[in-house]
Structure 1
Amino acid sequence: MTLDQYRSVADRLLGPWVRAAARLGLSPDQVSLLAFGAAVAAAGAFAAGDPFFYALGAVCVLLNGWLDVVDGALARHLEIASDGGDLLDHVLDRYADIAIIAGFTVGTGAYALGFLAVTGVLMTSYMGTQIQAVGIGREYGGLLGRADRLALMGIVGLVAAVYAVPVVAGLNVVGLLLALFAAVGHLTAVQRFLGAWRDV
């Protein structure tokens, strides 16, 4: 998949959001914190494991993803992009990933899958930033990038709101999502590593 390749399309839709944030006097860092707050709210909603809260969590996940694009666009609009802001954004993204997956895990009680899922996601992200850190470039490729994960989490939250019964091997759609993240996350990390290794 990866939805990260459509960042330029998203950038063209950001104008009204960026202008609204600028009018409100928000800084890019503050938008990053709002995005993280949406992720924490999603985690709490998913942990409840209730249909209404699954739907609410899905909305919060999508808001997190959108605001995560707005903060960078706002920084460019205000011409105040900085390494510090980029660092804060990356750190909050990782904590947001952990929080949302933890919420799904608590809601389903699938703790082993949750552990494998979060390590897969963190390794995917780690490979992207480590490749950048050693000066090879910035690697967004792979089977599932962050944009893909957020889209899937939002969709699964909405599906779980109306259909949360087990579908395969005793797992409902949330459990299947965790299994997907566990398997594909580590494969994406390896894929990113091999892609970067060829460029060394």
Structure 2
Amino acid sequence: MNITAFRPRAIRILNPLAHACAKTGITPNQLTLLAIISGIACAVLYANRMFVAGSIMLLVSGILDLIDGGVARINNKSSDFGAVFDWIADKYIDTLALLGIGMSGIAIISRIISVNAFPAHTLDFSIIAIAIIGSFMNTFIKPVVYAEIGYDNRENGKIADPLEGIGFFGRPETLIILIIGGISGYIWISAIIVALCTNLSAIQRIIYLYRTIP
């Protein structure tokens, strides 16, 4: 069970915003592009240690990601490319946000864990690298499963996710933890949590697939 299970409820809450955007004529792909731009802004702000502002931009990016599908349905503009573009955008945004933290130069990990064998920046970027790997692998599992088992059932234009409730830590959890960490001043603690939990969640999904796929 993860927060992704509550995505439909969040979409319903944001439905008025989706209707407002649909009336402007903006396309779902343009909203996805705006989400990427917000992710870039988040990375730049994080890199410059403006963590509160960066977290706000990450929140904006997450909201845009939630309403682009609604705009597609309202204006009947759902497309296969849009679904693919949305997946790609998500990973760009997640990676940019984590890289921004790594580039901030705070080097707080080395203050918590003293490892003389590694320079401070090397240790910090190792944490960020692990977080990025976990974020990618936790998501990469899904399209591999779709391709290998021929799963293509669709709901509202997108593949119905057979791993929807599997894995305790997905993208929504990643965004929420980073946003909370940025606003509260514990952004590096958030990065450690993401590094640990995304990889554990990926392992959880692999174990589930091992037990359920012949």
Task: Give the shorter-chain TM-score range.
Answer: 0.7 to 0.9
1:148 aligns with 2:173: yes
Q: Deviations over 1:66-98 (max 9, x none)?
A: 110111111122222121111000011111111
1:176 aligns with 2:189: yes
Q: Find the aligned partners of 2:32 and 2:84 in 1 and give their Cα distance.
A: 11
Q: Find the aligned partners of 2:8 and 2:182 in 1 and give their Cα distance.
A: 26
4+ runs of 1 displaced by more than 3 Å?
Answer: none
1:3 aligns with 2:3: yes
CA contact (8 A) 1:117 1:179 kept: yes
Pick one of 147, 157, 164 that aligns with 1:133: 147
TM-score (norm 2): 0.81
Q: Deviations over 1:125-167 (max 9, x none)?
A: 111222233335622321211111111111111011xxxxxxx
Q: Find the aligned partners of 1:60 and 1:78 in 2 and give their Cα distance.
A: 26
Structure with the bigger percentage of helix: 1
* Contiguous gaps of at least 5 residues in structure 1: 161-172
CA contact (8 A) 2:41 2:57 kept: yes
Give, as a single letter, the amino acid of the residue that structure 2 aligns with 1:106.
M
Q: How many angstroms does 1:199 deviate by? A: 3.0
Residue 27 of structure 1: aligned partner: 27
SS in 2 for 1:41: helix
1:111 aligns with 2:125: yes
RMSD: 1.5
Residue 192 of structure 1: aligned partner: 205
Residue 90 of structure 2: aligned partner: 93
- Taking structure 1 as reference, are residues 78 and 133 closer, same or farther at Cα in structure 2, changes over 3 Å only? farther
Residue 121 of structure 1: aligned partner: 135
Q: How many angstroms does 1:182 deviate by? A: 1.7
TM-score (norm 1): 0.86
Residue 165 of structure 1: aligned partner: none
Give, as a single letter, the amino acid of the residue that structure 2 aligns with 1:32.
T
Bigger CA drift: 187-196 or 57-66?
187-196
Give, as a single letter, the amino acid of the residue that structure 1 aligns with 2:85.
L
* Contiguous gaps of at least 5 residues in structure 2: 108-123, 152-159
Residue 61 of structure 1: aligned partner: 58
Q: Which has the larger radius of gyration?
A: 2
Percent identity of paired positions between Structure 1 and Structure 2: 28
Q: Find the aligned partners of 1:76 and 1:195 in 2 and give their Cα distance.
A: 32
